[in-house]
Amino acid sequence: MKGLNPRQKKLIYLLVQNENYLPVSFYSEKLEKSSRTIYSDLDKIQKLLPKEQLVLEKKPRIGIQLRGTVEAKLQFLEQITGISTTAVAESQERQWLITKQLLIDEETVTQKMLAQQFHVSPSSIVSDLDKIIEKYRLALEPSKRGTKMVGSEEEIQNSLFRFCEDYLDYHGINPEELFQETTQELLSKLFTPSLVKMTLQQIEELKLQTEFCFPEHYVKSLVIRLLVFCFRLSRGQHIEEKDFLFDQIKLIDTYLIANELLEKIAKVHGFEYNEEDISYVNRQLVGYGVKPNTNGQKNYERYARTIQKILENMSEIMEVDFLADTQLAERFASHFVPMIYRLKMGIAITNPLVEEIRSQYAVTFSATRYALANTEEQLNVQFNDEEVALVAMYFQVSLEKSQNGKKILIVCPNGVGTSELIFNKIKRILPAQDTAEITTLDKLYRKNLNNVDLIISSVKLEAIHKPIIQVSTLVTQEDIKNITALYSNLFYSEESNEAEILEFPFLKNVIDLDFIYTQKRFSDKQTCLNWLIDRLEKKKVVTKAFRKEVFAREAIGETALATGVAIPHASPQNVLQTRIAIVTLDQPIIWDQRKVHYVLLMCIAKEDRNLVRGVITDIHKIVQSEKQLKCFFAEKDAIAIYNDISRR
């Protein structure tokens, strides 16, 4: 506009930028002119303001402020200066940049520093910070050095999520434009471009596959949530998962997707992640509506009979009618076809939960392995432990749903060894459908206890509103009685008997004195297995194919337990007679990187599938602790071992 010099145009720019009342001295300092000159400039600007839209308001001893809507201010600025409103670094843009410095760059800032950086007054910065706190629910902490971001990791990530959502919404990015180059460029102003590209690429690829449904209206939120989470992981920050394993397994459908997402992004960007990080991403997938696609049932017709057979086998083994659970059938079918594809193509998966599942759900895991083994020859695949563990969780969820098992936490602050001791003793007296899980004192107070039915602890617990039984570290007989009595009072209407003496109703019927070998010495597990299988073949207990399958299974999964025992096995079709062969070793051998003192080779014939669960349960009564193993096998001859088991 004619008649205005560059200084006066700059003054208009500053008036538009600053939303608060500021003294004339502020503007005179910025423009390096006297207050008298600024007053003169203001009078001239006042005459140019559009009537009824903008007012230059003056308050004595407070300052001056340009009053009006943002649109009117920007329109006036564009008219006066010729600068497009899109190029103006207005207050919104400034607030984004300040938020980025605090949330993403994790800087400590001062009002003076920000005022100088953005050429505005400190009071404008105070106003900006107030708006940032309100809009993004960001917690800030002032100190002598300045202001910095504070809060839990979950709170920080939630603030980051709101910030990114606001940023994309302002720029008009809708779900259809989410995977376009424009979005990538916008987000790359906030985060590392390669991380943005990889995150968008992974979600886009998942959207294109047909095995899972991705609700369109949630995809944008999911992208932001995953991007924020991976960015914070790259900074070494983790959100602790609030649920225990027995709650996490209910979300097993999408666990593999969560694992693959993190695995691919972490591989490119070199950050580390753990099981809890996978569980968190998995919970986000479920929360944003990602679920198996059950509409394309024609894709499963080819394997329908096989799936039915596995459900029948598991029903027979576990003595539970899994066929009646229609939800299980649908979920398992959705998982089955991709699993077979992975196995046929040699695509290995990583299942970080496999050790926990194998330990805490030993019976279900072993039963699943046997049920799947019956289909391996027909499908021309071999199921590894990672895949078996995933399938086992579908059945475990169904089992808990049908039998209403209790969720029990075992708390011990003195380390894993002590916790395992308590865990192994307590598991013996709990009903088979109950689930026990070990946790630390620290995690107990941080995690969600809503689904926990009972807590057993070796230390006194405060402010926990759940039934608690305190036991000694060694779990005495008196402790066992107390647990049994309280369990009975809590969950049974009738009185319960005292802890039962250990019995082996199934195992005693399948052991044979001819197949118990004591104090043998072998150089390695291969020599041991060959020696043992030679004797089984000679007595026509197994087929010639049994040996090859045992070694194939050893190659794809671990059969040695931490307690010092190995339990090798093969599928029922290569077993002619049901037997459990037992070997005690004069000296331990290395087996799956563990020292093994005892070997129990499981041979269960096809016609005896109904014995699998019982035999596995009985075996786990013995192998769950080193003390128990020594009690039954150490320094005993074959007759003593046979009598001890068969008479129970």
pLDDT digits (tens, 9 = 90+) for 601-642: 999 998 888 888 888 888 888 887 788 898 899 889 999 999
> In this structure, are 329 and 370 located in the same domain?
yes
Label residue 52 by pLDDT band (50, 70, 90).
low
CB-based burial label for 603 (10 Å; 0-12, 13-18, 19+): buried
- Say if 226 falls within a structural domain: yes
- Say if 1 falls within a structural domain: no
> In this structure, are 523 and 417 located in the same domain?
no
> In this structure, are 368 and 444 located in the same domain?
no
> In this structure, are 223 and 303 located in the same domain?
no
Q: Which of these ranges, 274-278, 316-320, 410-414, has the smallest mean pLDDT?
A: 410-414
Contact between 561 and 594 (Cβ < 8 Å):
yes
> In this structure, are 234 and 334 located in the same domain?
no
> In this structure, are 255 and 325 located in the same domain?
no
Residue 528 has pLDDT above 70, yes or no: yes
Does an H or E element contain 490, and which? helix 477-491
> In this structure, are 552 and 628 located in the same domain?
yes
- Say if 635 falls within a structural domain: yes
What's the pLDDT tens digit per position in 531-553?
999 999 999 999 999 999 899 88
Cα separation, 328 vs 306, whole angstroms: 15
- Say if 155 falls within a structural domain: no
Q: Which long-range contacts (CB under 8 A, 24 or more apart) does 172-181 make?
A: 173/220, 174/220, 175/216, 175/217, 175/219, 175/220, 178/219, 178/220, 178/223, 179/203, 179/204
Cα separation, 280 vs 258, whole angstroms: 9
**Phi, psi of 500, deg, nearest 5:** -75, 150
Residue 418 has pLDDT above 60, yes or no: no
Contact between 434 and 492 (Cβ < 8 Å):
no
pLDDT value for 498:
32
**Phi, psi of 147, deg, nearest 5:** -110, 135
Label residue 495 by pLDDT band (50, 70, 90).
very low
Q: Which residue has the higher pLDDT, 366 or 90?
A: 366
What's the pLDDT tens digit per position in 292-346?
775 555 556 778 889 999 999 898 888 788 988 888 888 888 788 778 877 876 7
Residue 9 has pLDDT above 50, yes or no: yes
- Say if 203 falls within a structural domain: yes
Residue 497 has pLDDT above 50, yes or no: no
Instruction: Give the CATH number of the domain where residue 601 resides.
Output: 3.40.930.10
Contact between 425 and 469 (Cβ < 8 Å):
no
- Say if 158 falls within a structural domain: no
Percentage of the chain beyond pLDDT 90 is: 25
- Say if 159 falls within a structural domain: no
Q: Which long-range contacts (CB under 8 A, 24 or more apart) does 354-360 make?
A: 354/385, 354/386, 354/389, 356/245, 357/249, 357/389, 357/392, 357/393, 358/385, 358/389, 360/245, 360/435, 360/436, 360/437
Residue 217 has pLDDT above 80, yes or no: no
User: Who contacts 570 (Cβ-Cβ below 8 Å, separation ≥6)?
Assistant: 373, 542, 546, 549, 550, 553, 603
pLDDT value for 501:
65
Contact between 597 and 565 (Cβ < 8 Å):
yes
Using alpha carbons only, what angle is made at residue 633 by residues 631 and 638, rounded to the nearest 5 degrees?
A: 135
pLDDT value for 493:
45
Instruction: Give the CATH number of the domain where residue 73 resides.
Output: 1.10.10.10
**Residue 518 half-sphere exposure toward CB, CA atoms < 13 A:** 13
Considering 206-210, 353-357, 641-645, the range whose residues carry the highest mean pLDDT is 641-645
pLDDT value for 533:
95
In what side-by-side order are the strands of the sheet with 579-591?
Answer: 511-520, 579-591, 594-603, 565-566
Contact between 109 and 102 (Cβ < 8 Å):
yes
Beta strands 454-457 and 468-470, pairing class: parallel
Q: Which of 87, 107, 132 is the last residue of a domain?
A: 87
Mean per-residue pLDDT over the chain, rounded: 83
Cα–Cα nearest to 456, from 423, 428, 431, 434 = 423
- Say if 501 falls within a structural domain: no
Cα separation, 96 vs 190, whole angstroms: 10
Q: Which residue has the higher pLDDT, 83 or 405?
A: 405
Cα separation, 146 vs 143, whole angstroms: 5
> In this structure, are 10 and 73 located in the same domain?
yes
Percentage of the chain beyond pLDDT 70 is: 88
Cα separation, 390 vs 254, whole angstroms: 11
Q: Which range marks the domain in which residue 608 is found?
A: 507-646
Q: Which of 491, 520, 549 is the last residue of a domain?
A: 491
> In this structure, are 200 and 230 located in the same domain?
yes
User: Who contacts 133 (Cβ-Cβ below 8 Å, separation ≥6)?
Assistant: 139, 140
Q: Which of 343, 375, 399 is the last residue of a domain?
A: 399
Q: Taking residues 18-42, what's their average pLDDT? A: 85
Structural domains counted in the chain: 6
> In this structure, are 511 and 470 located in the same domain?
no
> In this structure, are 176 and 273 located in the same domain?
yes
> In this structure, are 425 and 317 located in the same domain?
no
Residue 245 has pLDDT above 70, yes or no: no
Taking only Cα atoms into account, the Rg of the chain, rounded to an integer number of angstroms, comes to: 34
